A and B are shown apart, each in its own frame.
Chain A
Amino acid sequence: MVPIGHYLFLSAALLGIGIVGVVTRRNVIIILMSVELILNAVNINLIAFSRLVGSVEGQIFALFIITDAAAEAAVGLGIIIAFFRNRETVLADEMDILKW
């Protein structure tokens, strides 16, 4: 049986990649993909702990998060399309109107 540390390491790596993606990339679509990575890092964590603890609750949470990720991707892409129609850009650093 694979020890829990491996899972946590993989999860932490995915989280790190995701965060770096969210913070550094300019393209919103790639930012969204990075968010998916972060969510999946969480999923791996949940499932790993679920097996370790022997409880099914973690897996149920993971299912919720998958659903949530799908919904989030749909809404996010919708927002991006609407935004593109208005501003003809998907670059995050050009979306700077969200301020005072």
Chain B
Amino acid sequence: MPSEYFLAHIWLIPLFPLIGAALMLFIGRRLPNSAVSGICVGSVGLAMIYGFGAVIQLIARPVSQRVAEVVLFDWVPAGAMHMTSGRLVNFNAQWGMLLDPLSCVMLCVVTGVGFLIHVYSTGYMGHEGGYYRFFGYLNLFMFSMLTLILGNNLLLLFVGWEGVGLCSYLLIGFYFLRKSASDAGKKAFIVNRIGDAGFILGLFLLVNTLGTLRFTEIGPAITAGGFAVGDAVMTAIAFFLFVGATGKSAQIPLYVWLPDAMEGPTPVSALIHAATMVTAGVYMVTRMNAVFQLAPAAMAVVAAVGAATSIFAASMGLVQTDIKRVLAYSTVSQLGYMFLALGVGAFTAGIFHLMTHAFFKALLFLGSGSVIHAMSGEQDMRKMGALWSKIPKTAWTFMIATVAISGIPPLAGFVSKDAILGAAFDARPLLWVIGFITAGMTAFYMFRLVNMTFFGPSHVSHDAEHHLHESPSSMTVPLMILAVLSIVGGWIGWPESLGGSDRFSHFLDPVIAHREVSAAAETAGYGKDYALMSVSVLVALFGIWLARRLYLEHPEVPDRIAERFSGLYRLLLNKYYVDQIYDAMFVNRTKDLATGLGAFDRNVINGLGIDGAGWLTRTISLISMWWDSWIVDGLVNLAARILWVLSIPVRMLQSGRVASYALFIVIGVMASLFYYLHVSGVTLHSVLH
């Protein structure tokens, strides 16, 4: 095997799941479940092996050469086109795969977590109908996601971007017989379209400004273009691209689809709506960091939206009672964290949190899936409790993930979250305050969830208790692997202030365009770092203590608080009425517009136009018919009638009898003879002579 075999074959990585998806589409229905699992898990496993192989071979290269690109073919050879600057460029989008440190991280997360979730799904979905359909969609998703992260240009990234959106829609609506599920799928699809409109505008503007979408050419093109920081076009591009990211990554104002997306099967929530697809926006913004760094205004918007989303979603997570919905709001909140990091220029911290979040949030979702599986489908936390000893493996791993997301050292969440908070503090202390409060809320609602589910008195119904069982090993083994990753995953980015070397940031450095705005203020010592870490750990511990106090020691207190602040409680419980406001502002207005246009269609177009024309034609034809049948036909019939009357005597002669005709002939001949002989004066004599 040549030394860089995997790097030369990165184009195969998305192909394996595509083949799996194609097989499911064409012959999946006829395959037994074991064959479906074999093909689909196997294809993702192959993609993972090729992915890890390529990553290892890339890391083996020297730092300056850590870019591998495999171009398969020219995909959109658009030819010569004029840019806004008037320059003529030869635009060409290729179907090519690019592996650099940024896509390395994404590749490891997507194939690694994806593979574990595929394995888990064989257990979780084992008793469900449409087994092959589920795995076909999952494989199609893996293909799209791998195209998204490996595509070497923004257009190919957009193909993957839309592909994951489609798979998200298909999988949210997997139980399509349930109306809420198909509605949620549609909601996700439509909300994402709004974001995608922004993405496409950004894409067009970028093509028109730089003349290329290839990632390796964008940086040089920006340098060659001599764009200043704050350039209006760059700001517009960054802003439009971020609109796309808010849709895909569930940020304000387009986050509303993600909580509803929990209608999908739990492995889908883990894979698509926690670990991979929703982070595509973070990846894309990081990928385009050269553009964003030229647009401080857009960056400020990114940071503000991220911070607002994180605290907004976390506050909604405080009161949810559906186990998956708590995790959904947590995901929105953590994604807000990532955008907060990107917005303050800490791209590596954002990607770092993306990775660690993928580990522990996938684990949380899979763990909640295991709980739901054990509870025979029950998702309401108020009907759980005291499950710790009943499903110990699930409980232990879930606990590890909870501690990790709460930001307790030395688990993964602490390291990445602290990197973000540190960067936020350096940039804008207000953003740090928001992140700090969110961290406390995160710890609180996560431990609230754990306490309500695994501890305290049991509220499990008799039927569910009867079937209570630990999940099969196909589900618990992925949980354990993810639990290990949730602990050690952060160590590769262990900060220098705590004696680490922050390898992660240095690894990603080559893909981040460094400019003045992003240069974090170098502090003289680590004193500030220690202080920030301490307070964030303290606030997390406070959240944990509060959750324990309220939900284990004094379980009657939360209800009292809810009564006391019933307005606030209802506001949170109803998710700030955002869905209702959107319904009132956009959905119903759209429906009104559709109703109005429908009425216009029915009454004006149909009524006046079509029916009117029909009525007019019919009236004209009635007149015409009257004219035809009475005047035209009348004249013809009159002529015929006259002839008929005249023909009566003649007709009587025409008897049809040959003998009478012969008699007429004889009479005629005799008459002629008589005429000739007596009337005309011709005589027989004169004829003879």
Q: Which residues of A contact B (CB under 8 A)?
A: 19, 22-26, 28, 31, 92-93, 95-100
Chain B 639-664 residues near chain A, CB threshold 8 A: 651, 654-659, 662-663
Asked whether B654 lies within 8 Å of A24 as measured between CB atoms, the reply is: no
B35 at the interface (CB under 8 A from A): no
Q: Nearest chain A CB to B684's CB is how many angstroms away?
A: 9
Decide if B651 touches A100 in the complex (CB within 8 Å). Answer: yes
Q: B666 on the interface (CB 8 Å rule)?
A: yes
A25 to B655, CA, bound (A): 17
Among B247-291, those with CB < 8 Å from A are none
- Could you tell me if B666 and A99 are in contact, using CB atoms closer than 8 angstroms? no
CA distance A22 to B663 in the complex (A): 8
| Chain B positions within 8 Å of A26 at CB level | 659
Q: Check A98 against B658 for contact (C-beta < 8 Å).
A: yes
Partner pick for A99 among B654, B659, B662, B663, CB 8 A cutoff:
B654
| B662 A23 Cβ-Cβ under 8 A | yes
Ordered by A's residue number, 20 sampled pairs between the chains whose C-beta atoms are within 8 Å are A19-B666, A22-B666, A23-B662, A24-B659, A28-B658, A31-B658, A31-B659, A92-B657, A93-B657, A93-B659, A95-B656, A95-B657, A96-B655, A96-B657, A97-B656, A98-B656, A98-B658, A99-B655, A99-B656, A100-B654
CB distance from B653 to the nearest CB of A (A): 10
Nearest-CB distance from B668 to chain A (Å)?
A: 12
Q: Are B654 and A23 in contact (CB under 8 A)?
A: no
Which residue of A has the minimal Cβ distance to B664? A23
A58-B654 Cα distance, complex, nearest whole Å: 37
Identify the closest chain A residue to B670 (Cβ). Answer: A19
Chain B residues contacting A100 (CB-CB under 8 Å) are 651, 654
List the B residue with the shortest CB-CB distance to A28: B658
Whether B666 and A95, one on each chain, are in contact in the complex, defined by CB atoms closer than 8 angstroms, is no
Determine the residue in chain A with the shortest Cβ distance to B647: A100
Query: How far is it, in angstroms, between the C-alpha of A28 and the C-alpha of B657 when the chains are bound?
Result: 12
Q: How many A-B residue pairs have CB under 8 A?
A: 35
Contact of B666 among A23, A92, A97 (CB under 8 A): A23
Chain B residues within 8 Å of A98, by CB: 656, 658
- Bound-state Cα–Cα, A92 to B662, Å: 11
User: B126-164 CB contact bits vs A (8 Å, 1 = yes)?
Assistant: 000000000000000000000000000000000000000
A92-B656 in contact (CB<8A)? no
Distance of A100 from chain B, by nearest CB (Å): 6
Q: How far is the CA of A22 from the CA of B665 in the complex (A)?
A: 11
B666 contact set on A, CB distance < 8 A: 19, 22-23
Shortest Cβ distance from B647 into chain A, in angstroms?
Answer: 8
Most buried by B among A23, A26, A92, A98: A23
Nearest Cβ on chain A to B554's Cβ, whole angstroms:
116
* CB neighbours of B656 from chain A (8 A): 95-99
Q: Is the CB of A22 within 8 A of B654?
A: no
Q: Find chain B residues with CB under 8 A from A96 CB.
A: 655-657
Contacts of A93 in B (CB 8 A): 657, 659
CB A36 to nearest CB in B, in angstroms, measures: 14
Residues of B within 8 A of A23 (CB): 659, 662-663, 666
Query: Is the Cβ of B658 less than 8 Å from the Cβ of A95?
Result: yes
CA distance A23 to B657 in the complex (A): 10
B396 to chain A, nearest CB (A): 108
Instruction: State A96–B655 Cα separation when bound (angstroms).
Output: 7
Q: How far is the CA of A97 from the CA of B658 in the complex (A)?
A: 10
Q: What is the bound-complex CA distance between A97 and B666, given in angstroms?
A: 22
When chains A and B are docked, how far (Å) is the Cα of A31 from the Cα of B654?
20
Look across to chain A and name the residue whose beta carbon is closest to the beta carbon of B658: A92
A93–B659 Cα gap in the complex (Å)? 7
Q: Judging by beta carbons under 8 Å apart, are A22 and B662 in contact?
A: yes
| Complex alpha-carbon distance, A19 and B667, angstroms | 10
Contacts of B651 in A (CB 8 A): 100
**Sample of 20 further A-B pairs with CB below 8 A, known A22-B659, A95-B657:** A19-B662, A23-B662, A23-B663, A23-B666, A24-B659, A26-B659, A31-B658, A92-B658, A92-B659, A93-B657, A93-B659, A95-B658, A96-B655, A96-B656, A96-B657, A98-B656, A98-B658, A99-B654, A99-B655, A100-B654
Chain B residue with Cβ nearest A21: B662
Which of B651, B654, B659 has the most CB atoms of chain A within a 10 A radius of its CB?
B659
